[in-house]
Amino acid sequence: MILCQDLLWGAAKRPLTPHLNITLPAGSFTAVVGANGAGKSSLLKVLAGLQKPLSGRLRISAEGTKIGYLVQRSAIDRQFPISLGELVSGGFWGQRLHRRERSERLRQALQAWEIEKLAAHPLEALSGGELQRALLARLSLTDANLLLLDEPDSALDKPGQALLWRHIDAWHKAGQTVVVVSHDLPRVQAMADYCLLIDSEGCQYGPSQSVIGRAALGQVQ
Give the amino acid at 52: K
Contact 154, 183 (CB under 8 A): no
| Burial 119-132, CB ≥16 within 10 A → b, else e | beeebeebeebbbb
pLDDT value, residue 3: 94
In CATH, the number for domain 14-66+144-216 is 3.40.50.300
- The dihedrals phi and psi of 94, each to the nearest 5 degrees, come to 85, -5
Put simply, whether the predicted model's pTM sits higher than 0.85 gets the answer yes
* 15: β partners: 10
Give the amino acid at 2: I
- Mean per-residue pLDDT, 87-93: 94
pLDDT value, residue 185: 92
Measure CA 58 to chain center: 18
Q: Identify the weakest region by mean pLDDT among 36-45, 61-70, 101-110, 148-157.
A: 61-70
Q: Does the pLDDT value for residue 204 go beyond 80? A: yes
CA distance 152 to 161: 9
pLDDT value, residue 63: 65
Confidence category of residue 80, pLDDT binned at 50, 70, 90? very high
CA atoms within 13 A on the CB side of 114: 10
- In the chain, where does the domain assigned CATH 3.40.50.300 lie? 14-66+144-216
Beta strands in the chain (DSSP E): 2-8, 10-11, 14-15, 20-24, 29-34, 55-60, 67-70, 146-150, 177-181, 194-199, 202-207
- Helices 158-173 and 128-140: angle between axes, nearest 10 degrees: 10
Q: What is the largest CA-CA distance in the chain?
A: 53
pLDDT value, residue 175: 94
94 sits in which H/E element: none
- Mean per-residue pLDDT, 136-143: 95
Selection from 189, 175, 116, 128 nearest residue 153 by Cα: 128
Selection from 111, 153, 114 nearest residue 132 by Cα: 153
